[in-house]
Amino acid sequence: MNTLIAPPVRQVLRKKWMPSLLVVTESALLAAALLVLRYAGGAALPSFTNLPSPDKNVSGIVYDGASLWITIDGGQVIYQVDEKTNAVRRKIPFFEHESGGSAWDGRYFWQLAWVSKKIYKMDLKSGAILESFHSPGTGMCSGVTYDGRYLWVANFEDGKIYQIDQNHAGRILRTIDGLPEVTGLAWDGKYLWNGILVDTKSHDEATPYTGFFQQRDLQTMHTLRVIPIPGIGPGTSDWLPGGPFARRFWWYDGFYNRIVRVDLPGRLFPTGYSALLAGIFAAAVLIAVRIGRELVS
C-alpha cells in the first residue's frame, strides 16, 4: 500500500473504482454462466441412433421390455427384434394385408388394420387373435398407444386422436384434435407423444422428408417438446405399465427406411452443470454484497 496517499484519499479512490469493478466482475460471471448454459443445453439435447429396419413399410412398433415388435404394412407379418442386438427373433403372421399401428398393455398386443378399420387383440406367444372391434371415428387410423389403462388411437382422416376403452369394444372415452397427417402415437408414463408428417401425401406417394414428434400435455393441451425425425411413421417408448417415465423412443423413418432410437436426457441440465451454475450465482451474490459494503463504509 502506498503510504504517501492519505487514508481519506484512498477511501475516495476505492469508492470511485468499486462500481466499475462490480460491473466488470458481474459481466465476467454472466459470460461464464452463459457459456455453461450453452454447453449444458447441448448436453440436454436428445441423442439419435439409426438402426436397420427388418423390412420396408413399417406401420407399428411396440416395446415389451426386451424386444421390439415391428409390424409391416402389406407384409402380413410382425417381427420380434432384439432390442440390444437388433437381431430378428421371431416372425408372427398377421392375416390383414393393410396394417397400422400397434400397442402393448403389458399382457396383450393390440394391432390396427387401417383399411378394414379394425383393432385386434392378440396373444404374442401363440400369435392367436383373441377378439376385435371397429376402430374409432369414421376415417382410417394410423397410430395406437396404451396409457396404462386405455388405448389411444390416431385417426388421420378425421384429424382426431381418440381415447378408447379396449375392454368394452372400443367405446370412445375422449376425443382431442389431431392433424390429418398424424402418424404414430407413444406414451411416456404421463404425456402423449404423436408423430406428424409435414406436407400432404396420399398412400401411393413417396414419404415426405419433413416430420417430427411432439410431447403433449393432455390436461392443458400444450405442446411441451418437438423433436424432428425425417419421414416419421409409427413409434413407441420404453415406458412399461407401472414403470418409470420413458427416456427412450423408437420411431420409424419412412424416408430412409430405418428405425431411429431417440434417447432423452435424464434431466434438463446435468448435475455437474447445475452445480457449476449455482456456484457462479453464489459468487456473483457474494461479490455484489462485499462491494456494496465497501461503498457504504
* pLDDT over 90 (residue 292): no
* pLDDT over 80 (residue 28): no
- Both 255 and 151 in a single domain? yes
Q: Which residue has the higher pLDDT, 210 or 21?
A: 210
Q: Which residue has the higher pLDDT, 291 or 156?
A: 156
For residue 141, tell me if it sits in a domain. yes
For residue 259, tell me if it sits in a domain. yes
- Give the tens place of pLDDT for each residue, 144-202: 999 999 999 999 888 899 999 999 999 999 999 877 778 899 999 999 999 988 765 55
* pLDDT over 70 (residue 288): no
> What is the structure's pLDDT at 159?
87
For residue 19, tell me if it sits in a domain. no
- Both 54 and 196 in a single domain? yes
> Distance (Å, rounded) from C-alpha 212 to C-alpha 230?
7
Single pTM value for the model: 0.75
For residue 275, tell me if it sits in a domain. yes
- Both 274 and 157 in a single domain? no
Mean pLDDT of 63-72: 97
pLDDT band at 268 (very low <50, low <70, confident <90, very high): very low
* pLDDT over 60 (residue 38): no
- Both 231 and 276 in a single domain? no
Instruction: Give the CATH number for residue 227.
Output: 2.130.10.10
Mean pLDDT, the chain, rounded, equals: 83
Measured from the Cβ of residue 99, the count of other Cβ atoms closer than 10 Å reads: 27
> What is the structure's pLDDT at 131?
96
- Both 275 and 259 in a single domain? no
What total number of domains does the chain contain? 2
For residue 8, tell me if it sits in a domain. no
- Both 169 and 287 in a single domain? no
Q: Which residue has the higher pLDDT, 213 or 41?
A: 213
For residue 124, tell me if it sits in a domain. yes
- Both 253 and 277 in a single domain? no
Nearest to 79 by CA among 50, 111, 115, 105: 111
Mean pLDDT of 65-90: 96
Domain interval for residue 295: 268-297
For residue 65, tell me if it sits in a domain. yes
- Both 147 and 284 in a single domain? no
